[in-house]
Amino acid sequence: MVVDAVENCKKQGVDVVVFSEVQGNPTGENVEAGIRAYNAGNHDGVIAFGGGSSLDAAKAIALCAGQTRPVWDFEDIGDNWTRADPSAIAPVIAIPTTAGTGSEVGRASVITDASNHSKKIIFHPQMLPVQVLLDPEVTTGLPPHITAATGMDALSHNLEALCAPGYHPMADGIAMEGIRLIRDFLPVAYSDGRNIEARTQLLVASSMGATAFQKGLGGMHALAHTLGGLYDKHHGLLNAILMPYVMEANKEEISGKMAALGQYLGMENPDFDSVLNWVLDLRTSLGIPHTLAEIGIPSDDVDRVGKMAEVDPTAGTNPIRFSATEYSQIFIHSVEGKLSQ
C-alpha cells in the first residue's frame, strides 16, 4: 500500500520520502525523529498514511516541525496552542488505514510522554488535515481482531460523545447515526474483511465519531488513555473492554439517552439495559475479552490508575464527574469482570 502510494506520488512529480518510525501509542521521541526527518528533507507537507498512531504522530510532526518549542509546549491546556506560529504549521493530507480513531477529522493528537508513561493531548486548530481520503480499499487487509478493536474505538467515540453533557443536538445526531452504522457493519467487516460496503461505512462511522466528540469524550477514554500509557495496550481494545463498566457507572445519568438511542436503533425494549446487552453481545461476537485481566493488566496500580484517570482531559465531559476513588472502582470491576448483570 505504502509502495503504491509512493509510486503514485512520484508519477505525479511529488517527491516524497517515507518516515515510518512510529510505534503504536506514539511517543514524543517518535515525533522528534519525524521532525528531524521532515526538516532534513526540506519538506513542505505531510501525508499521514496509517492507523491512529501514524495519523496522530504525523499531525504532531506537521505542527512542530517549523516551531522552536518542543511538542509538550502544545499540550491541550488553556491557550497553549497560541504559542505556535501558525504560518509554520505544515499542511496534512490524511489517509486512514483503519476505521476507528477518526484522527483524520480531529484537531489533536494523543502522544505518550515516555518520561512518566502518561498520554498527552497535543492540540492546535490547524492540526485538522487539509484533505482526507477515505479509501475502503486500504482497510480491506486489516485482520479481524484489529477491525474489531478499531471499530469498537469508533463506537466508544460516538457513544461517549452522545453521553457527554452539554447541548449539542448536531453532535448527538451524528453520534447516533455513527452508532447505527457500526451496529450494522462492524460484524460484517469482522467476518468478511473484503466487503467494500462495510469497510466504507466503518470509515464514515469513524470520521463521524471523531466529529461528534468535539462535544467531549468521557470515562472510557479517561481510563483507556491512562492504561494505554501505563501498559502500552491497544487503545481501541481498551475502550472495548472498558465500555460496559463505564456505561454501568454512568447509568443514572445516561438512561434517558440510552432509551433514545435504543429507539433509534429499533430495539424492542429501548432502554439502558437493552443497549448495554447489545454492547455485551457485540463484544462477544467480535472476540473481545470481557476483562482487563485477560489482556494482562493487573489491579496492582489501582490508586495510580484512579488518580491519572481523574485528571485526564476527557474526564471533564463524562456525564458524572468521577473521583479518583470512583475511577479506581471502575478499573477494579474491569479487571475482575464485575458487572451487576
The residue ranges that bind Zn ion (CB under 5 A) are 153
For residue 39, give the C-alpha cell: 526538516
291, 277 Cβ separation under 8 angstroms: no
Region label for 98, one of left (φ > 0), alpha (ψ between -120 and 50) or beta (otherwise): beta
When the beta carbons of 153 and 248 are compared against Zn ion, the nearer one is 153
The 3-state DSSP composition of the chain as helix, strand, coil percent (nearest 5) reads: 60, 10, 35
When the beta carbons of 30 and 206 are compared against Zn ion, the nearer one is 206
Residue 222 beta carbon to Zn ion: minimum distance, rounded to whole angstroms: 11
Give the start-end residues of each E strand in 29-76.
Answer: 46-50
When the beta carbons of 62 and 242 are compared against Zn ion, the nearer one is 242
For residue 69, give the C-alpha cell: 518549542
When the beta carbons of 89 and 127 are compared against Zn ion, the nearer one is 127
When the beta carbons of 199 and 234 are compared against Zn ion, the nearer one is 234
How many other CB atoms are there within 10 angstroms of residue 294's CB atom?
Answer: 12
- Going by the DSSP 8-state scheme, the letter that residue 66 receives in this structure is T
Residue 279 beta carbon to Zn ion: minimum distance, rounded to whole angstroms: 16
When the beta carbons of 153 and 310 are compared against Zn ion, the nearer one is 153
Residue 108 beta carbon to Zn ion: minimum distance, rounded to whole angstroms: 11
Residue 275 beta carbon to Zn ion: minimum distance, rounded to whole angstroms: 19
User: Could you please report the per-residue DSSP string of 114-148?
Assistant: TTTTEEEEEE-GGGS-SEE---GGGGTT--HHHHH
Nearest 5°: CA angle at 282, between 274 and 135?
A: 125
- Going by the DSSP 8-state scheme, the letter that residue 45 receives in this structure is -
Residue 156 beta carbon to Zn ion: minimum distance, rounded to whole angstroms: 6
By Cβ distance, which residue is nearest to Zn ion?
153
Residue 30 beta carbon to Zn ion: minimum distance, rounded to whole angstroms: 18
